[in-house]
């Protein structure tokens, strides 16, 4: 009988450890992964904004038209994003329709929203950057 009690206790301890580890993993920021803005592409191009954050805080933000670098500091659920300014010129390599006036305006608006982000949280398989405007990103599946 004591053997069964020990076995049950061991199984419960293992399950609790696994549940705690899963909870911790779910709350970590997805570094070194492409995070795609959860938005429909602006036609005619298929590009959507992508955020990639390295574990050291260096980041790249591919906007609707242009790309900027950023520095991201994460502490718990707090986040501070400092972006480089939008480049003056157009990207050398771009697809047809990638840099329409509407998309360049959307770049400015998205960059302004990203600069105002103060928090983040996991949401299913993605991340929500919280600020005056919530920005939902999903982890790329490729």
Residue 14 is predicted with a pLDDT of 42
Residues 58 and 121 in one domain: yes
- On whether both 59 and 78 belong to a single domain, the answer is yes
Does residue 37 share a domain with residue 23? Answer: no
Strands (E) across the chain are located at 34-37, 50-53, 58-62, 67-75, 78-83, 119-123, 126-130, 135-139
Rounded Cα distance between 71 and 54, Å, is: 10
* Residue 71 sits in the same domain as residue 23: no
Counting DSSP H helices and E strands in the chain, the numbers are 2, 8
Q: In terms of domains, do 48 and 103 share one?
A: yes
Q: Which pLDDT score is estimated for 93? A: 76
Q: Which domain holds residue 26?
A: 1-30
Question: Which pLDDT does position 2 carry in this prediction?
Answer: 56
Determine the pLDDT at residue 43: 84
Same domain? 111 vs 86 = yes
**Number of folded domains that form the chain:** 2
Ranges under pLDDT 50 in the chain:
5-7, 9-26
CATH number of the domain that 67 lies in?
2.40.128.270
Q: What is the pLDDT of residues 115-133, one digit of tens each?
A: 999 999 999 889 999 999 9
CA atoms of 80 and 85, how far apart (whole Å):
16
Q: How far apart are the first and last CA of the chain?
A: 51
Can you give the pLDDT at residue 19?
41
Q: Kindly report the pTM of this predicted structure.
A: 0.78
Residues 14 and 47 in one domain: no
Pair (19, 39) in one structural domain: no
Residue 83 pLDDT: 96
């Amino acid at each position: 009988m004591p053997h069964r009690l020990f076995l049950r206790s061991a199984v419960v301890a293992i399950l609790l450890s696994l549940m705690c580890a899963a909870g911790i993993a779910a709350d970590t920021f997805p570094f070194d992964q492409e995070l795609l803005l959860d938005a429909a592409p602006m036609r005619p191009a298929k590009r959507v904004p992508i955020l990639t954050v390295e574990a050291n805080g260096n980041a790249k933000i591919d906007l609707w038209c242009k790309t900027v670098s950023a520095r991201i500091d994460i502490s718990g659920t707090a986040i501070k994003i400092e972006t480089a300014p939008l480049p003056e010129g157009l990207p050398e390599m771009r697809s047809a329709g990638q840099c329409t006036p509407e998309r360049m305006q959307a770049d400015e608006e998205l960059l302004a929203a990203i600069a105002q982000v103060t928090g983040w949280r996991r949401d299913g398989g993605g991340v929500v950057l919280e600020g005056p405007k919530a920005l939902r990103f999903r982890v790329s599946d490729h």
